[in-house]
Amino acid sequence: MSQNVSWDEQGNWGATGAWGSRDSAGRKLDLAHWQARLDALRAKHHVPGASLALLVDGTVHELASGVLHTETGVEVTTDSVFQMGSIAKVYTATLIMQLAESGALALDAPVVDVLPEFSVADPAATRAITIRRLLSHTGGLTCDFTHDSGRGDDCLARYVEAAKGVALDCPPGTAISYSSVGYNVLGRIIEVVTGKVWDQALKDLLLPPLGLTHTMTLPEEALRFRAAMGHLGEPGRRPDPAPEWDMMPRSAGPYGRVIASAGDLARLARMHLAGGVAEDGTRVLSAETAALMQRRVVDCPDKWTVSSDGWGLGWTLYDWNGVPGYGHDGASIGQYGYLRVVPSAGVAVALLTNGGGAREVYAALYRELLAELAGVTMPEPFAPPARPPVVDFAPLVGTYRREGVVITVTERDGAGHARYAFVDGMKDFSDPLEIDLLPVTETVFAGTGVGAAFSEDYMPVVFSTLPDGTGCVYIGMRCGPKTA
């Protein structure tokens, strides 16, 4: 292994010598223990298979557990690949930052300057949407606009065209609202600037210098590897294989389809942790650019859905009782991924799974791992307090709407309730969700009956107010403005 990055005097990675850390001499990594914990937690929470990669003292250690598919019994190995869902956004953000660093684009340029065909439902807002705002989810673009634009190389161009009439979640630059649409626009920008389809730009600009041999974007490419099958089922029970391996269209790539091994994901994190330097010494990003991506752009009203404290340029930012970190979560059909990086300790942890109570495994395993390897105390699972506060729910009652979803909030015998209904292109996604709202604070509620996709037991439901005075509710990090 080429070892050419070390800690500087401030405890940051720099390309100056051999891999090491401030406490490398005293830190012992007991891989047998963590293999046993992975096996036990995976079995306890009915997760068919999982792959875990640990970056410690500059070295990536890889573990595997369970099976890729419960009906075939093929075992997970460390070179198995999983769908990583929204973790793909980190790859797209990294490509954008490479292009910005080269001078090929400007982060504060309006998107329409690069994509003249780009527009949103509010014409006045079009020029206010910049590349930087898309990276930090502050562009106002929505998330759940589903549109299959085909398998051709023009799929992103056609998607951006189809999204022109979609309503904004909030005015650009005023608040955060998690946006997959925004990352597809970024993917199209990459295509226009490089002259390559997004998939090829990723393969040419990012994968080779990082040595990512088990990373790809298309289902047919995954067939060369041991690929995990997603599994679905009721919480607390053994899940069954999903009806399809992948239900996303090709245009979902920039926001939701990078397929990789846990080890490859950890190697991407190592480059960012090392100030933009790959393992072999290749500089992928400048140290300044890597640091800029990790710098807070916006606070998050919802600090629980993905454990976020804020957002940078592509990265979710965390604050573990004063210890900063960054990372990203992702989900596809029955597959879930979690990446956490602790710069002060030089540690990164990547967990990829294929169904069941994946979030419970993540929560328990990372709480132990990050405590031992990085001195991090992760928050306890989100839940209502034993003695919930008395809340005047009347001001929160109403209808909240964003693309694909209508949320109707009512009060029943002094208690809050939300009906989460799928509409527009999402209308066949699921039956409406009926959610009881248990008070945590006057504006934060623990939603019941949703399952473990967003939290171990409860869905965070967070009410807030936009700068113009409009009320809104955050569910799944998406901002739904109050319409009635």
Burial state string for 53-82 with b = 16 or more CB within 10 A and e = fewer than 16: bbbbbbebbbbbbbbbbbeeebebebbbbb
> Looking only at Cα atoms, what is the longest distance across the chain?
66
**At CA 354, angle to CA 63 and CA 381, rounded to 5?**
85
Under 8 Å between Cβ of 136 and 186: no
Residues linked to residue 392 through DSSP beta bridges, in sequence order: none
**CB neighbours of 460 closer than 8 A, spacing ≥ 6?**
302, 304, 305, 382, 444, 445, 446, 447, 454, 474, 475
Question: What separation in angstroms does the CA of 400 have from each of 178, 403, 412, 480?
Answer: 16, 11, 18, 5
Question: What separation in angstroms does the CA of 407 have from each of 77, 291, 373, 484?
Answer: 42, 38, 41, 11
Q: Of how many residues is the chain composed?
A: 484
Give the residue from 302, 350, 313 showing the smallest Cα distance to 447. 302
Catalytic residues: 86
